[in-house]
Amino acid sequence: MKIVTILGARPQFVKAAVLSRVILKYHQIEEIIIHTGQHYDKNMSAVFFEEMNIPKPKYNLAINGLNHGAMTGQMLEKIETVLINEKPDAIVVFGDTNSTIAGALAAKKLHIKVIHIEAGLRSFNMEMPEEINRIVTDRISNLLLCPTQTAINNLNKEGFKNLPIKVVNSGDIMKDAVQYYSKFSKEKSAIIKELKLENNNFVLATIHRQENTNDIDKLKSIFEGLEKISKEKQVIIPLHPRTKNILEKHNLNYNITIINPVGYFDMLELLKNCFLVITDSGGLQKEAYFNKKHCIIAREETEWIELVQNGFAKIIGSNKQKMITTFNIFKNNITNKPSDFSQNLYGNNVGEHIYKEIVSLLNQ
């Protein structure tokens, strides 16, 4: 049996590594990896794959730096060529990137089965390109592997019970990745020592979404909130190049510790040692939870609603006063009434569960 896994962003490689390890363990499936090149990153080098023990892509399409239509179109064309040559029994796609939708469309038009990992997530914000990618990919897949019951509920509301598509609550594959790589991050990373950080005495922040960076008033409000918090706890922000350029363009300077983007092991160590997290990232919200940290979400919505419902995270948008108030609430809770992070919101042995579902589909 043969599958082609289509990846485009570094977080997808980390998640895919979980499945690749299980595939290699059982020797039943041949896996071919395509890297579309969507997120070009100097860290996506041979060292990245060697250090993290991630299988190297057989194909690198080097498609990046284009508008959505051009990028997706080129990916669709080049992925189709690979699929025609490789003749897989199924393809695997992750999440909600342009690589995800391009891979799913290319496979479906060739009558190749589509497996979508991280299916069923919804922000209900149709202005997000990711939301469109999710919805279309789910609809044309054969197997939807959902990370949460919330994702299952979303699909049920959309009528997926009436479609010939198998929907499974597999749990969140990122949980397996964090657990696996956390065993190595301390020896691989020296960032805590280099930055002279004290355990539990700094806030980790990331801001990169266009809804925040393209609106200068929102961006200023967020950074003013971070600066206020930094008077009490040092704020460390690995800054996305686009965000950095916008701050420089508008001559905005804030008294917080800005560092260059970091690798995965460095990020894990920052997560392990921080006081709490402030982010507009999707994945980092869960990684905070896996590392038993509260999260302040600088967005108007989240796909990971169970984190909010259970009190581990709070949505504040770009409102600096809400950010400061929420920080103080979490600070009080951390000190006086610690949260129970032992709740099993995202499953266990997720990679094994997903592998069994894939084998079952391929044997049909």
In terms of C-beta density within 10 A (0-12 exposed, 13-18 middle, 19 or more buried), how is residue 129 classed? middle
Which residue in this structure is represented by tokens 């997120």? 39
* Residue 116 a catalytic site member: no
Structure tokens at 288: 């905070």
Angle, alpha carbons 258-261-263 (nearest 5°): 135
Rounded Cα distance between 291 and 31, Å, is 31
Which residue in this structure is represented by tokens 């595939």? 23
Q: How far is CA 159 from CA 139, 154, 162, 171, 296, in A?
A: 10, 9, 6, 21, 33
Which helix (H) or strand (E) covers residue 219, if one does?
helix 216-230
Of 208, 240, 250, 294, which is the active-site residue? Answer: 208
| Residues classed as catalytic | 208
